[in-house]
């Protein structure tokens, strides 16, 4: 057998030197479309003649390029986070290596110039061997990186045949262990471009901005076969030599907030290249602050994988544009291209719409962390045999995307450990492009990078970093204590970024507001990137033809990491999740809040550059959630960083609960949103500030009686054995039962806090209820119930005291823990708590962080299935939890039971509405019940119980029951981000302890 060319340490052979993606008027053929395709589930090394022009491929299938063959029935997609899908035996791969052969016949027109031609592949996963008309051009590795082959010697006039053999696995697989679907094939465009004699091969644009003077400077490093002239019409530059440095006394700089681009043309006698130039300068100050154009920036960003639920990484231009528009509309200003360079179109959009970009190399070797006997044993990052491949990958990254003003930082890769090859990459980048800082989270001590980066550090640890309190040698991962003076630690003088934080898996993330506050308090804490943008669920169908989004394990994979791939701020179909709405609110570029004195509103401009002249201001006043007045507000066009207080536009003068909502909207359309798009809002109470108690009985007390075997009290009917409510007026319902559990969220299941495991160990998901006593007084019914699980003594003793008037029943609840509740372990422990707190407060939070917890303390009711209409006065319109409720405002809202649900890819607790004053549930035509709080409660309603919700793997597993489950909770626990990262902050934990609360229930009449 011939040498297996896909198994060596090199990046391949035959490829031309990397260069920028250029917009040229040179002749070009687009070779995307339908290709002949043959699939083999095992390795194919030497061709069988398929590369020859006269090979008969009429019996082959047809496969569209770009695409992944697994999504068209060849092989199967597999999702892995860390583990390799092959034995760890570098650089070798197994014989069961799926192989795809591609053939494309194309015509070279007679007008094609007699000049060198370049065949360019934008992305092939993972190894491609290329022939043109039977002549081998070379082999490429580096799946998400472009490769070019010199086609001149093989190209013919008229009919040509391009043949490509693609292997799913190669030595390159060891450098591409990214947390995403393993998908193969030619998944980006293929083009053939003529290179005219005297044309332009490459351009490096350096456009700097002097923030002190407003001046701009452009230098052009051009690789061309003839003299090059440049024109920038808007700057008065017309046909001047490109080798001259151009200076301008005043230019409009580029930023993510004002992405102004100057159109430029470079020309020789035979070729014209179009460029878009953005003037900006990226620097790090002596104080360790990252600046752009002289101003500190905060990266309110997301990590973005390329993904589409039907196309995988073969993402269309329209989808990319939709992503960028959605990011801008949700106040996101930065993207980390995890964990590889994206399609170049995406960066064009970032330039045009305005997003800061940390551009990451196509490199990750995470599987070596756990594959060997020791941590990172055999990792290529410190193996000299891999150095050429490492340098090739960073060179192809930088050279392709060097002209994008949106790219403000180069990232060497992700989770590839540490080693000399990474240091060599950094040295190459620093030599080639010293204008951009270098990022790599794995450089734990900042030895060869320019910014200090971490993942998933607790808010308390981020505060320590911001304060410059790291000790020399201190490391968070693996946890290592340092020693010495923090003044001697270089990381304390570097900008700090959270490469990943707030893991957006399922319901969550919680704790966003606490993270972003640290960016305001500490100048070196300059934001970061939520993991991640989109749930990577692949659209598929079950045996009954029902559509759902698949994740790891749904395609018969040998190894998989389950739904860990579904951890985005948007659902797979790009529906915004509640997590995205929360992030949008937390990172608003304008803060609207109560002023420092009564009767004023504070407005703060939190943009890094932009003033507020592009916004218009509206206000609305609500009384008990009902709008009663509205108008416009005058706010001066504050410069970035400025703050003003303006008068409240209305005098209270009314009763009830008054709330003023002020909204900042686009005054004119932007490329990413229409006029009137809300950029920020704030809501504040007006007098009276107290939430009114709504649970008082106003009529004469009703007398309790026994009728037809049941107990009656006012409009309520109760089971005489258990004391549960079985009817209210003419309405039938059942309950309540104490509930302490919820269908675990992905964060509840996370290893950082193990809440779900603790709750299951205590049996909170399977409580049995025993009526201890039932006392029927003259005007009250008192029921005592003990609730605990089989084989467990951990329980609650709950006293339900009912009284009523002729219209309503009132329920007063006291619940207190009984039995043994052991302390709950926590992987983070004291790291969750701010060490700078007063000693008593610190000790209390540490205690709470370890104390036994429950998911909720509340009541479960069973309602008729026809009661599908829901209305409430409280926080809304979307779901909210104690640590993820910034996006909710107080008002009156209407919904259906079905629309209360958030369809997370893996079903879990969702749909909680917070701070509810009252809620009504009933039939659309009328009838039902009203529940009032004393003064507030949490509300959730769904067509299935928590145990069914917890057992489901997909939304299609949820079968509606012939009832509606209503939950009225006194308290619920926060969400946290423990799927990866910190658990629920102590102040948002729900500790096992007594609870007292009151509800009033009233039957609703049917509508006439």
Catalytic residues: 415, 500
Are residues 7 and 386 in contact, defined by beta-carbon separation less than 8 angstroms? no
List the end-to-end C-alpha distance of the chain, in Å, as a whole number: 86
Quote the CA–CA distance of 718 and 727 in Å, as a whole number: 7
In 3-state terms, what secondary structure has residue 575? coil
CA distances from 692 to 109, 335, 804, 939 (A): 80, 45, 20, 18
Q: Is 368 helix (H, G, I), strand (E, B) or coil?
A: helix
Q: What is residue 961's three-state secondary structure?
A: coil
CA distances from 121 to 15, 20, 32, 198, 864 (A): 10, 13, 10, 24, 60
Q: Which residues of 614-645 are buried (b: 16+ CB within 10 A; e: fewer)?
A: bbbbbbbbbebbeeeeeeebebeebeeeeeee
Please give the Cα distance from 860 to 902 (Å, whole number).
20
Residues in the chain: 1008
Element (H, E) at 466: helix 459-466
**Helices (H) then strands (E): counts for the chain:** 11, 61
Contact 475, 502 (CB under 8 A): no
C-alpha–C-alpha distance, residues 275 and 42, integer Å: 45
Asked if 519 and 527 count as a contact pair (C-beta separation under 8 A), the reply is: yes
Answer yes or no: are the C-beta atoms of 918 and 930 closer than 8 Å: yes
Return all residues near 439 (Cβ < 8 A) that are at least 6 apart.
358, 409, 410, 411, 412, 449, 450, 451, 453, 497, 499
Q: What is the largest CA-CA distance in the chain?
A: 105
Task: Return the ∠ at Cα 650 (arms to 647 and 651), rounded to 5°.
Answer: 100
CA–CA dist 268, 204 (Å, integer): 16
d(CA 590, CA 614): 12
SS3 425: helix
Of 410, 391, 22, give the one whose Cα is nearest residue 223: 22
SS3 189: coil
Q: Are 608 and 295 in contact (CB under 8 A)?
A: yes
Closest CA to 175 of 367, 432, 22: 367
Helix (H) or strand (E) holding 291: strand 290-292
| Eight-class DSSP state of 823 | P
CA of residue 717 relative to chain centroid, distance: 48
């Amino acid at each position: 057998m011939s040498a297996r060319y896909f198994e060596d340490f090199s990046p391949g052979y035959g490829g031309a030197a990397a260069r920028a993606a250029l917009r040229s008027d040179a002749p070009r053929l687009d070779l995307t479309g339908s290709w002949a395709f043959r699939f083999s589930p095992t390795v194919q090394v030497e061709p069988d003649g398929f590369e020859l022009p006269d090979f008969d491929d009429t019996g082959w299938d047809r496969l569209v390029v770009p695409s992944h063959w697994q999504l068209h029935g060849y092989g199967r997609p597999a999702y892995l986070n860390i583990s390799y899908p092959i034995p760890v035996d570098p650089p070798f791969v197994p014989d069961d290596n799926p192989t795809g052969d591609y053939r494309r016949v194309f015509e070279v027109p007679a007008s094609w110039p007699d000049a060198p031609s370049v065949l360019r592949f934008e992305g092939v996963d993972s190894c491609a061997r290329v022939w043109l008309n039977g002549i081998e051009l070379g082999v490429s590795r580096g799946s998400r990186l472009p490769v070019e082959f010199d086609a001149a010697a093989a190209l013919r006039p008229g009919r040509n045949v391009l043949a490509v053999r693609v292997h799913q696995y190669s030595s390159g697989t060891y450098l591409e262990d990214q947390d995403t679907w393993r998908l193969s094939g030619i998944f980006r465009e293929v083009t053939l471009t003529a290179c005219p004699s005297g044309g332009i091969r490459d351009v490096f644009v350096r456009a700097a901005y002097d923030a002190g003077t407003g001046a701009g400077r452009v230098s052009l490093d051009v690789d061309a076969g003839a003299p090059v002239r440049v024109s920038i019409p808007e700057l008065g530059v017309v046909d001047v030599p490109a080798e001259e440095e151009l200076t301008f006394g005043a230019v409009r700089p580029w930023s993510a907030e004002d992405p102004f681009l100057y159109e430029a043309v470079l020309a020789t006698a035979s070729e014209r290249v179009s460029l878009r130039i953005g003037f900006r300068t990226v620097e790090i100050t002596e104080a360790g602050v990252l600046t752009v154009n002289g101003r500190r920036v905060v990266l309110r960003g997301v990590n973005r994988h390329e993904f589409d639920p039907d196309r995988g990484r073969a993402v269309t231009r329209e989808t990319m544009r939709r992503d960028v528009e959605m990011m801008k509309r949700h106040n996101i200003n930065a993207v980390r291209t995890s964990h590889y360079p994206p399609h170049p179109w995406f960066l064009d959009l970032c330039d045009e719409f305005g997003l800061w970009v940390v551009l990451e190399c196509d490199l990750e070797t995470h599987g070596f962390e756990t594959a060997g006997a020791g941590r990172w044993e055999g990792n290529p990052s410190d193996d000299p045999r891999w150095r050429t491949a490492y340098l090739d990958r960073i060179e192809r990254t930088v050279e392709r995307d060097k002209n994008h003003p949106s790219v403000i930082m180069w990232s060497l890769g992700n989770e590839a450990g540490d080693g000399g090859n990474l240091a060599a990459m950094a040295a190459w980048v620093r030599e080639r492009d010293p204008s951009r800082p270098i990022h790599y989270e794995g450089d734990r001590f900042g030895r060869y990078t320019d910014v200090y980066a971490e993942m998933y550090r607790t808010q308390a640890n981020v505060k320590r970093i911001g304060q410059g309190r790291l000790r020399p040698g201190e490391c968070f991962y693996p946890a290592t204590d340092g020693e010495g003076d923090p003044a001697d630690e270089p990381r304390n003088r570097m900008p700090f970024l959270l490469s990943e934080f707030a893991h957006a898996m399922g319901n969550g993330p919680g704790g966003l507001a606490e993270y972003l506050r640290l960016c305001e308090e500490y100048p070196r804490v300059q934001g970061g990137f939520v993991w991640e943008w989109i749930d990577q669920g692949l659209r598929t169908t079950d045996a009954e033809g029902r559509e759902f989004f698949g994740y790891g394990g749904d395609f018969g994979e040998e190894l998989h990491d389950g739904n860990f791939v579904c951890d985005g701020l948007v659902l797979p179909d790009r529906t915004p999740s509640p997590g995205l709405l929360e992030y949008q609110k937390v990172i608003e570029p304008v803060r609207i809040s109560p002023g420092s004195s009564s009767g004023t509103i504070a407005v703060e401009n939190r943009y890094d550059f932009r003033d507020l002249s592009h916004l218009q201001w509206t206000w609305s006043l609500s009384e008990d959630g009902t709008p009663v007045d509205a108008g416009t507000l005058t706010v001066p066009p504050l410069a970035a960083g400025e703050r003003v207080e303006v008068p409240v536009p209305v005098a209270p003068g009314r009763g009830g609960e008054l709330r003023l909502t002020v909204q900042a909207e686009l005054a004119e359309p932007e490329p990413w949103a229409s006029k009137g798009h809300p950029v920020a809002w704030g809501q504040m109470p007006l007098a009276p500030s107290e939430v009114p108690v709504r649970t008082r009985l106003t009529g004469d007390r009703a007398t309790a009686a026994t009728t037809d075997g049941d107990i009656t009290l006012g409009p309520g009917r109760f089971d005489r054995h258990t004391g549960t409510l079985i009817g209210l007026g003419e309405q039938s319902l059942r309950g309540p039962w104490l509930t302490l559990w919820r269908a675990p969220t992905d964060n509840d299941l996370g290893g950082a806090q193990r809440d779900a495991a603790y709750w299951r160990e205590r049996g909170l998901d399977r409580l049995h209820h025993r009526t201890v006593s039932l006392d029927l007084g003259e005007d009250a019914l008192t029921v005592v119930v003990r609730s605990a699980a089989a084989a467990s003594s951990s329980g609650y003793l709950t006293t339900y005291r009912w009284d009523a008037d002729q219209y309503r029943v009132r329920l007063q609840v006291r619940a207190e823990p009984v039995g043994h509740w052991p302390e709950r372990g926590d992987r983070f422990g004291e790291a969750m708590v701010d060490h700078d707190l007063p000693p008593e407060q610190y000790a209390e939070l540490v205690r709470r962080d370890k104390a036994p917890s429950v998911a909720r303390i509340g009541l479960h009711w069973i309602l008729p299935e026809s009661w599908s209409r829901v209305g409430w006065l409280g926080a809304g319109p979307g779901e909210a939890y104690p640590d993820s409720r910034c996006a909710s405002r107080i008002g009156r809202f209407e919904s259906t039971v079905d629309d209360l649900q958030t369809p997370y890819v893996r079903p879990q607790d969702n749909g909680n509405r917070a701070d509810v004053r009252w809620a009504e549930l009933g039939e659309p035509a009328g009838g039902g019940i009203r529940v009032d709080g004393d003064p507030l409660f949490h509300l959730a309603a769904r067509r299935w119980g928590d145990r069914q919700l917890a057992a489901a793997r997909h939304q299609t597993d949820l079968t509606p029951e012939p009832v509606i489950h209503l939950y009225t909770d006194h308290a619920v626990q926060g969400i946290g981000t423990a799927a990866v990262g910190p658990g629920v902050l102590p102040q948002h934990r729900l500790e096992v302890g007594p609870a007292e609360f009151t509800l009033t229930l009233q039957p609703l009449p049917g509508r006439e």
